[in-house]
C-alpha cells in the first residue's frame, strides 16, 4: 500500500544522447575561442605589424612606461631618445604603443 511498484526503465543508450551530452562542452570551447583566443591573436598580429613599421622620428611608449622618440632602428633593437642627449636601447618587442606626432611636447611641461 505505502510502497509503490518499481518499474524498469527502457535502455536509452542511443547515439543521439551522447551528442546531446557533448553539446554544452563544444559550445563552451566555441565561446572560449571567440571571446578570448581570437581577440588575443588579433592583438598580437596588430602589435607585430606596428613593431615592424617603426621608423626614426616615431614617438613611442615602451613596456616599462618610458616615453621617447625613436632615434635609430635596427633589426632587434630601437634606440629611443628620452631627453636631450639621453638615449636608451630597447628591444623592438618592448615598444608597447605608437603615439601620434607631437604627443611628447604636451607630455613634458617645462618650468
pLDDT at 4: 76
- CATH numeric code, 55-107: 2.30.30.60
Residue ranges of the chain whose pLDDT lies below 50: 111
22-39 pLDDT per residue, tens = 899 999 999 999 999 999
Q: How many percent of the chain have pLDDT more than 70?
A: 86
Q: How open is the CA angle 51-45-105, to the nearest 5 degrees?
A: 40
Q: How open is the CA angle 54-62-98, to the nearest 5 degrees?
A: 40
Listed by start position, the domains of the chain span: 15-53, 55-107
pLDDT at 111: 45
The cell 639621453 sits on which residue?
86
pLDDT at 95: 95
The set of cell numbers assigned to 61 is 611608449
Judged by DSSP in three states, 80 sits in strand
pLDDT at 26: 92
Amino acid at each position: 500500500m505505502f510502497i509503490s511498484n518499481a518499474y524498469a526503465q527502457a535502455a536509452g543508450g542511443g547515439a543521439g544522447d551522447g551528442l546531446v551530452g557533448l553539446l554544452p562542452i563544444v559550445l563552451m570551447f566555441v565561446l572560449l575561442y571567440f571571446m578570448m583566443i581570437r581577440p588575443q591573436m588579433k592583438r598580437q598580429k596588430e602589435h607585430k605589424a606596428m613593431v615592424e613599421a617603426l621608423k626614426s622620428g616615431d614617438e613611442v611608449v615602451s613596456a616599462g612606461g618610458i616615453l621617447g622618440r625613436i632615434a635609430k632602428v635596427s633589426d632587434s633593437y630601437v634606440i629611443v631618445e628620452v631627453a636631450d642627449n639621453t638615449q636608451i636601447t630597447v628591444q623592438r618587442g618592448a615598444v608597447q604603443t605608437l603615439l601620434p606626432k607631437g604627443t611628447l611636447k604636451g607630455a613634458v611641461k617645462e618650468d
